[in-house]
Chains A and B, each alone.
Chain A
Amino acid sequence: MYTLSNRLRLFSIILMVVGLVGLVIGFADRPGSVEEVKEMMAAHDAHGSGHAETNDHGEDAHGGDAHYEHVLHQLQNKPWASLYIAAFFFFMIALGVLAFYAIQFASQAGWSPVLFRVMEAITAYLVPGGIILFVILALSGFHVNHLFVWADPEVVAHDKLIQGKVSWLNGTGFIIRAAIFLGGWLLYRHFAVKYSRKQDEEPQGNKWYKKSFKISAGFLVFFIYTESMMSWDWIMSFDPHWFSTLFGWYVFASLFVSGITTIALITIYLKSKGYLEFVNDSHIHDLAKFMFGISIFWTYLWFSQFMLIWYSNIPEEVTYFITRIEDYKLPFFGMLVMNFIFPLLVLMNSDFKRVNWFVVMAGIVILCGHYIDVFNMVMPATVGGSWFIGISEISAVLLFLGLFLFVVFRALTKAPLLAKGNPYLEESKHFHY
């Protein structure tokens, strides 16, 4: 049995408190009026005297206060957007692990049962993470904040394209769908974990294992539809004029690789603390192979989406990438380096996939890269050119990181670390490459 050390508990609580305080400051720091924005921008311009001239010129072109009001809305959105990104990012890690876990059962994989308890513990975050995300989504869907422009009746009244999509993009439907998605995923999570524990108690006849197999196969069908719709609702609708038909797959690749990376990181951490003695090099090797492979899969989807839009150059499509390349050059291309080139070169060698610190280093870069991926998906439509990594972004990540660590490691203490009733356990223990 794993016991949560006091240091880890304290560490995660400190992260949460610091994050919460930072977020409160971030929300309180938002400019309340156009005048405050003017002051802020004047102070900013004073720093870089070289910029002053070009900025004076720019002000005339924008025609006075309209520009400042635009910036005001963007800055008021910023803490909400950073809260949303962090909430979604950690939720998607747990969701990716849930999908991976279901695939292990549906494919009757023999190598992975020794890692099942780690996966189950990570998916425990779905419950608090899902509830928080649901609250944020409800607030956004009913226009308490201004994250989704389609939630603003005034915008919709002047926008023919959004009017055509109102039957899908409306607050009520949005919340009902979110409830169905989250409800289905949590339901599967509840029963899958329950059956896995029952299988330990009475392994004879594999009654509970067969049940796990059946619900996992059913869940995967449900998941791939709902995950796709979730990505339209929760991410793609930030840009309601824009659409991409492979967006669901793209988000899936992102959450899948983040989830697998997190399994590897937590497994290596537990092993370094002397737990999971039955996990050997080959299990880490396999996880690293998945990290490598799914990183390339993510790049394939990213590029498929990018190249077609770039080549056809249709204004309503290409604007999505033009905003990102113009205003988000560093995160946009930096993410490609972190999510593709880095894992490609670091994890290509077979031997490196068995060296723990290599896997940890690659894993941290991949997770940061996929945080920036979500950042690039959410920020341009909500904050636009006024983005920067400030106190609210960092605090939001700290808050959810603390919550994630707290929930996951507490869930690890709830059951023995070895799923001893699993029929493939012996094969998994002797797994070697």
Chain B
Amino acid sequence: MASKVIHALYTDDDVLMDAVKKVRAEHYHIEEVFCPFPVHGLDKAMGIPHTRLAITSFMYGCVGLIVAIVMMNYIMIEDWPQNIGGKPSFSYIENMPAFVPIMFELTVFFAAHLMVITFYMRSRLWPFKQAENPDVRTTDDHFLMEVDAGNHDVNKLTSLLGDTGAVEIKVIDKEEDNH
């Protein structure tokens, strides 16, 4: 099934922000906005729900902490206990201060790396991935807003987009399975 979308290009992030707000106020659906750099507040203006990345990060940190505890307990207490600095207590809790740096580092390591990997997967980025942005100028100095034309009156929508300061407006028939 083919769906009709409109691509509106902008050359300024402030103009883009105002345009996004206006288009949403008219109850059109913005599918995606492609930008050459992150625009502060754009996610809120587009009405995208708040990211849950922080929650996953917290959980990954907890995993890292547990891995560190289990690992140090196995290495230093169970498998090969050593007398370091006259502290041969062979008890995890009594030697705990020595393991705190490792616990801290692995917590940060797990939280950071797994969060980045999650972010890539969530953003549908992986090796050999074809670029999704429909216009190469969005990697340089243009902003592109993709609005779902759906059942709306295309002429009305294009004139609205023109009023918001778009420098170029294109109507595209998009194949559903092209990515």
Residues of A whose CB lies within 8 Å of any CB of B are 303, 306-307, 310-313, 348, 350
Additional pairs, 8, CB under 8 Å, beyond known A303-B100, A307-B100, A348-B58: A303-B97, A306-B97, A307-B98, A307-B101, A311-B97, A313-B85, A313-B86, A350-B54
Q: How far is the CA of A313 from the CA of B86 in the complex (A)?
A: 9
Chain B interface size band reads under 10
> In chain B, residues 78-93, which have Cβ atoms closer than 8 Å to a Cβ of chain A?
85-87
Residues of B whose CB lies within 8 Å of any CB of A are 54, 58, 85-87, 97-98, 100-101
Most buried by A among B97, B98, B100: B97
- With contacts A348-B58, A350-B54 taken as known, whether A312 is within 8 angstroms of B85 at the C-beta atoms is yes
Q: How far is the CA of A350 from the CA of B58 in the complex (A)?
A: 12
Residues of B within 8 A of A303 (CB): 97, 100
Closest residue on chain B to residue A350 by CB atoms: B54
Closest 5 pairs (CB-CB, A-B): A307-B97, A310-B97, A311-B85, A313-B86, A303-B100
Residues of B within 8 A of A350 (CB): 54
Closest residue on chain A to residue B55 by CB atoms: A349
Shortest beta-carbon distance from A80 to chain B in Å? 33
Contact across chains for B58 and A311 when beta carbons are under 8 A apart: no
Residues of A within 8 A of B87 (CB): 311, 313
Q: How far is the CA of A307 from the CA of B100 in the complex (A)?
A: 9
Q: How far is the CA of A348 from the CA of B62 in the complex (A)?
A: 14
Residues of A within 8 A of B54 (CB): 350
Closest residue on chain A to residue B54 by CB atoms: A350
Main secondary structure of the interface of A (DSSP, over half): helix
Residues of B within 8 A of A313 (CB): 85-87
Residues of A within 8 A of B98 (CB): 307, 311
Shortest beta-carbon distance from B126 to chain A in Å? 29
Residues of A within 8 A of B58 (CB): 348
Shortest beta-carbon distance from B49 to chain A in Å? 14
Q: How far is the CA of A348 from the CA of B57 in the complex (A)?
A: 12
Shortest beta-carbon distance from B121 to chain A in Å? 23
Q: How far is the CA of A409 from the CA of B98 in the complex (A)?
A: 47
18 contacts between A and B (CB under 8 A): A303-B97, A303-B100, A306-B97, A307-B97, A307-B98, A307-B100, A307-B101, A310-B97, A311-B85, A311-B87, A311-B97, A311-B98, A312-B85, A313-B85, A313-B86, A313-B87, A348-B58, A350-B54
Residues of B within 8 A of A306 (CB): 97
Q: How far is the CA of A313 from the CA of B97 in the complex (A)?
A: 13
Shortest beta-carbon distance from A317 to chain B in Å? 13
Q: How far is the CA of A350 from the CA of B52 in the complex (A)?
A: 12
Residues of A within 8 A of B100 (CB): 303, 307
Closest residue on chain A to residue B58 by CB atoms: A348
Q: How far is the CA of A310 from the CA of B100 in the complex (A)?
A: 13
Residues of B within 8 A of A348 (CB): 58
Residues of B within 8 A of A311 (CB): 85, 87, 97-98
Shortest beta-carbon distance from A268 to chain B in Å? 24
Shortest beta-carbon distance from B62 to chain A in Å? 12
Shortest beta-carbon distance from A347 to chain B in Å? 13
Q: How far is the CA of A287 from the CA of B135 in the complex (A)?
A: 43
Q: How far is the CA of A38 from the CA of B121 in the complex (A)?
A: 73
Residues of B within 8 A of A312 (CB): 85
Q: How far is the CA of A186 from the CA of B98 in the complex (A)?
A: 43
Q: How far is the CA of A311 from the CA of B96 in the complex (A)?
A: 11
Q: How far is the CA of A354 from the CA of B101 in the complex (A)?
A: 31
Residues of A within 8 A of B85 (CB): 311-313
Residues of A within 8 A of B86 (CB): 313
Shortest beta-carbon distance from B18 to chain A in Å? 17
Q: How far is the CA of A313 from the CA of B95 in the complex (A)?
A: 13
Q: How far is the CA of A312 from the CA of B98 in the complex (A)?
A: 11
Shortest beta-carbon distance from B45 to chain A in Å? 13
Shortest beta-carbon distance from A431 to chain B in Å? 14
Shortest beta-carbon distance from A406 to chain B in Å? 42
Q: How far is the CA of A310 from the CA of B84 in the complex (A)?
A: 12
Closest residue on chain A to residue B98 by CB atoms: A311
Residues of A within 8 A of B97 (CB): 303, 306-307, 310-311
Q: How far is the CA of A415 from the CA of B8 in the complex (A)?
A: 53
Closest residue on chain B to residue A300 by CB atoms: B104
Residues of B within 8 A of A310 (CB): 97
Q: How far is the CA of A312 from the CA of B86 in the complex (A)?
A: 9
Shortest beta-carbon distance from A275 to chain B in Å? 29
Q: How far is the CA of A303 from the CA of B97 in the complex (A)?
A: 8
Q: How far is the CA of A312 from the CA of B84 in the complex (A)?
A: 10
Shortest beta-carbon distance from B83 to chain A in Å? 13
Shortest beta-carbon distance from A244 to chain B in Å? 16
Shortest beta-carbon distance from B82 to chain A in Å? 14
Q: How far is the CA of A79 from the CA of B54 in the complex (A)?
A: 48
